[in-house]
Structure 1
Amino acid sequence: MIELSAKLTTGTVYLAGEAIECCISFCYTAQPEHRNSQSHSDTLENLAWASAQFHCFYSTSGAQGDKTPILGKTTSLEVAACDVGDAVFHSKPKILFCDLTIPLGETKTFWYRESLPIEAPPSYRGTSVKYSYKITIATQKVGSHIKMVRIPFRVLPISPIINMQDLAALCGNETTEELHPTNPFSEERKVETPLTMALQVLQNLTARRSPNSYMITNTRGKVGRFCMFKSAYKLGEDIVGTFDFSVGTVTCMQVSVSLQPEEVLKTKSPPKNVNKETSSRSMTVARYHEVTLGLTQSQLILPIPLHITPAFEVDDVSLQWRLHFEFVTTNEKLVPNPEDKDWNAPLNVPIETMVWNLPVKIYSTLPKEIMHHTVGTDAYTLNIK
């Protein structure tokens, strides 16, 4: 029996444009019932071939099979029945070996390395559409069926941050400096790539502080003032803001803030039961709630989960993020007089609820930041008999 072992050596999370790397091993081990009855012919095993490639799968909540491949060429590795959706693009299959002989007890190791397209859609599990990625490793013994193992991995978007074509042009222009005499005593300058420059832009965008203040009002007057210190965040960061109710003329009893995605479909033929022009559905991924009666100041701290998908836009769907505010207000003066020792809270209070949506930009973070806080499987095995 041959055991196929595959492990992602660079983790399970990647930015679009990065290279994935997988270590693939084939080990010939004797089955326990055959260890004492080995013949000379059983000391060698043969595999006809093995290949590796990655797929991006697309599916909708209403129907499947309505997409055609947009990248990559025809591959001999068909989509398995267990895979949900259609493969919208894939890399070219890379042949790991042909006609491999493995002696008993030995292991043969191969490496698969492939770069993801910079324009690739991110891994995304939305309410209407889904994108997922898997590495497909296939092999076959002579006279046997093809065996395949799928290794899922996650892709984060990078292209919406800046025009990647402009970055590529900037990187290409830097080669002109090589025509000038170089100093043999100076350190070699690192060559910038579109991906590294995009990461620098990402860092600058999310590190920049730009406080914005908003006066919150309803039909009866001022509720308060909200201040947010910046509008661009990375996955894993905290959205921080402050409420100032001392400027309000209307009593705010409680406030809740929810981080919600806004998914908009742009396909000409959307799934059934989905609005054709715009399909924006909201769900809460993080929530802040506080009773603010009697408070003049309050602070908002809302962690951004690492598992969500940052903002992105492709041909079929776009994803943005917003803060959804709900203020419960009343015109009653419920704050007791400090001199009144016998004050009791009223049994019934007339209230009004007002809502407000504030767009917020959420970008990718470095994959290693996500892998440090998540538990996942990066190794898979397959027995070939």
Structure 2
Amino acid sequence: MIELTARLLRGPVYLAGEMVECSVTFRNPSPPENTRSQSNNDVFENLAWASVQMHCICAVNESRVSGSQEGSSVEEAANSLSHTSYVPCKGENGQIVLATKPKILFCDLRLSSGESKTFLYTETLPSEAPPSFRGQAVKYSYKLTVGVQRVNLPIKMLRVPLRVLVIQGITETFLYGENDELTPNNPFLEHQQKESATDLALQELQNITARRSPNFYNITNSRGKVVRFCLFKQAYKLGEDIVGTFDFVDAAVPCVQLSVALQSEEEIEEGRRHHPNQAPAVSISSKAHEVCLGLQNSHLCLPIPLHLAPTFSTNLVSLKWKLHFEFVISVEPEADLKVIPDDGGTWQGPANLPIETMVWDLPVTIYPSNPQLVSQGIRAQTKHEMVF
């Protein structure tokens, strides 16, 4: 019996272009004392080989996506090889859109009773890798597969799921860093360790999402102004709160209540849609609601959950985010909606109030957060085990 343990050293969340580190341990556990042999011969376990590979699989909803996909299907890859070959993504459904070269951890490993061996697997995610995403029409999933075979026995595989984030819109300068040959050198300064491409990308990401430029929107209809809305910035990171204010002071149309929802639009690229006039798939992630009748000011605080997929675009699908507003307004502005001042009294609202609903959308951009912060927030599993 062999115990196989795979542990992601920096958590299960990574940025595209970042290095993935995973420790892989093989252990031959000691038998119980009452079953140990009385002889002096140790019990050995022989492992023929072990290999690790990382891959990304794209699965689509055929009722929404048509046409052939890039890459080879998992079924074709499995059928092209014999049953004894190492096929890391065997049993998965979809197309292989990314696969790293398999790395061999060892060949011919012999473990005595109670002995263990640990190997370090490292692999850099391609910067052009698609992000992890689970939508209504498209799903991108990453897995790191450890394959191992004991002598004269079938291959066993342990799959370790990963989450990959992509920073949309960051230039190649921040993804790959500066060229050492073009960087001026000062021989009188102490040598300083060069920042990694990931650190540079996170710094640029912080600069983008930290900029505050309040934008004011006068929301009106045919009868006049409903509310003045202020949004402090347009770019946000996962885990942040979308903060804004509502001003009803100069409103000509009474607003009874309002709701704001953070919505995603999953849009299939033209030419891959199952129907020519197919609308984007809309999903709601968080929502805020408030009764604002009689208020002069109000505010919005809408959280962005860490498990969401940031804004991205591939040759198959694009994901965009927006704030969806719904205002319930009074149809008759002359109706008696004002609060009557009465010391110690209570205002009684109208028994019947004719209303109508007004809808408005405001696009926003959502970027990833630091992968380590996302890992801690979602509390995803980093250790995976298997016994064979």
TM-score normalised according to structure 2 size: 0.89
Amino acid corresponding to residue 216 of structure 2 in structure 1: S
Amino acid at match of 2:163: R
CA deviations 1:243-268 (Å, max 9, x no partner) are 00011000000010000001111163
Residue aligned with 1:262, SS: strand
Deviation of 1:227 after TM superposition, in Å, equals 0.3
- Which stretch of the first structure deviates more once superposed, 82-91 or 95-104? 82-91
Residue from 153, 175, 185 that aligns with 2:181: 175
Q: CA RMSD in A?
A: 2.5
Structure 2 residue 169 is matched with structure 1 residue 161? yes
**Kept after mapping to 2: 8 A contact 1:79/1:87:** no
Q: 1:104: Cα distance to partner?
A: 1.2
Q: Deviations over 1:136-168 (max 9, x none)?
A: 00010111100000000111112x22232x446
Aligned to 1:151: 160
1:267 touches 1:315 (CA, 8 Å); kept in 2? Answer: no
In structure 2, the residue matched to 1:360 is 364
Count residues in correspondence. 373
Assess, with a 3 A threshold, how the Cα gap between structure 1 residues 276 and 55 changes in structure 2: closer, same or farther: farther
Q: Mean Cα displacement is larger for which, 193-202 or 305-314? A: 193-202
> Aligned pair 1:130/2:139, yes or no?
yes
1:218 & 1:206 partners in 2: Cα distance?
32
Whether contact under 8 Å (1:161, 1:198) holds in the other structure is no
Unpaired runs of at least 5, structure 2? none
Paired position in structure 1 for 2:318? 318
Contact 2:216–2:230 at 8 Å: present in 1 too?
yes
- 2:69 maps to which residue? 67
The letter of the residue matching 2:317 is V
Deviations 1:22-51 (A, max 9, x none): 111111124549833376666211111000
Unaligned runs of 5+ in 1: none
Match of 2:245 in 1: 242
Matched, 1:196 2:199: yes
Corresponding letter in the other structure for 2:11:
G
In structure 2, the residue matched to 1:83 is 92
Q: Distance in 2 between the 1:350 and 1:312 partners?
A: 42
**Kindly tell me: are residues 154 and 240 of structure 1, through their superposed partners in 2, closer, same or farther at Cα, counting changes over 3 Å?**
same
Identity %: 47
Where does 1:186-265 land on structure 2 (aligned, <5 Å)? 186-265=189-268
In the alignment, structure 1 residue 102 sits paired with structure 2 residue 111: yes
Q: Distance in 2 between matches of 1:329 and 1:221?
A: 11
Counterpart amino acid of residue 297 in structure 1:
N
CA, structure 1 residues 38+216, in 2 after alignment: closer, same or farther (shift >3 Å)? farther
Q: What secondary structure sits across from 1:161 in the alignment? A: coil
Q: Distance in 1 between matches of 2:90 and 2:52?
A: 18
User: Compared with structure 1, are the counterparts of its residues 35 and 279 closer, same or farther at alpha carbon in structure 2 (3 Å cutoff)?
Assistant: farther
Rounded Cα–Cα distance in structure 2 between residues aligned with 1:262 and 1:208: 25
CA distance in structure 1 between the partners assigned to 2:311 and 2:16 by the alignment: 13
Contact 2:136 2:281 (8 Å CA) reproduced:
yes
1:379 maps to which of 358, 368, 383: 383
Mapped to 1, the partners of 2:91 and 2:196 lie a distance apart of 37
Deviation larger for 32-41 or 218-227: 32-41
Q: 1:42 to 1:262 in 2, by over 3 A?
A: same
User: What is the deviation of 1:337?
Assistant: 2.6
Matched position secondary structure for 2:282: coil
Match for residue 5 of structure 2? 5
* CA distance in 1 between partners of 2:321 and 2:39 (Å): 65
